[in-house]
Amino acid sequence: MELSSNDKIAMALLEEVKAEVDEYFGNTIAMPMMPDGYDSKRDLFCEKMVKQCDLAEKKSSNPIILLESAILKAQCYGCWQKPINSRGTHGNAKKYYETALELAQTNEQKAEIYYRYAIFARTSFMGSKQLSLENFQKAIELAGEDSSLGIECAKELEKTKQKKSGCFIATAVYGTPYANEVILLKDFRDNWLLNFKLGKLFVAFYYWISPPIANQIAKSNSLKAFTKSMLIVPLIKIANHLKRKEI
């Protein structure tokens, strides 16, 4: 397909965006929503890059342009840390990965997008361990298990399987993920809640909303005490009760 003059302008703009994103983030595809410290410069950079992608899309509706823009937007939204409407930014990343998959024309393109989507799903608010595993598996099927991408996906898939998700709020209350109470609640999640549909929905909602809450709790002794008495202790009692019933 021959590119029009507007297509070429849009492609040149996206090439500049990609160069800047690669220089700024390197191999980083996504970041946790609440890492230590808030980097406002990073969010301003992400916002600027997304606007440049929007400009490219206004210049051209060529599927090649839209695909490249969607992939770049997904990465920028996946690395966004904006504290206000923060879940929306990671939600946008998920949306653009889905858009990119719809626009992709070849198995090679789809495999690369599934790989990036899997890394994002493992890292972000809006993803999950299960979504990550599914996307790594799809990437392997499309790329071939003996290809360099297939081999990389297989390694990441195994790493994801072994990854244990934490209990953010309980960890914030007790100050360590190794407290007996935190371990008990993890067991409650893994061995009871995740066996039921409503339990799975609750866990998904918890991981969607809890990191910024836990971040605030960790900074305040009064919030720690309140959360412990009003939430953690009642949950521990429920977990212990269910555990005794199984014996």
Long-range CB pairs of 44-48, under 8 A, 24+ apart, other chains included: 45/20, 46/76, 46/77, 46/79, 46/80, 46/89, 47/80
Among candidates 57, 67, 65, which has minimal Cα distance to 116? 67
The answer to whether residue 20 scores a pLDDT higher than 90 is yes
- Is the per-residue pLDDT at 86 higher than 50? no
Is residue 215 within 8 Å of 133, Cβ to Cβ?
no
Can you tell me the distance from the alpha carbon of 173 to that of 220, in angstroms, rounded to the nearest whole number?
A: 9
Is pLDDT above 90 for 218? no
Question: Could you tell me the pTM of the whole model?
Answer: 0.71
Quick: pLDDT tens for 100-151. 999 999 999 999 999 999 999 888 755 577 889 999 999 999 999 999 999 9
pLDDT at site 114:
98
Q: What percent of the chain has pLDDT over 90?
A: 51
CA 222 from centre of chain: 31
**Higher pLDDT among residues 21 and 30, named by residue:** 21
Torsion angle, alpha carbons of 172, 177, 179, 181, to 10: 70
Q: Which CATH class name applies to 5-162?
A: mainly alpha
pLDDT, residue 103, reads 98
For the chain, domain boundaries: 5-162, 168-246
Q: Mean pLDDT across the chain, nearest whole number? A: 87
CB atoms within 10 A of CB 149: 18
Q: Quick one: which of 54, 160, 50 has its CA closest to 115? A: 160
For the chain, give percent helix, strand, coil, nearest 5.
Answer: 75, 0, 25
For the chain, how big is the Rg over CA atoms in Å? Answer: 21
Residue predicted with more confidence, 202 or 13: 13
Model confidence at 88, in pLDDT bands (50, 70, 90)? low
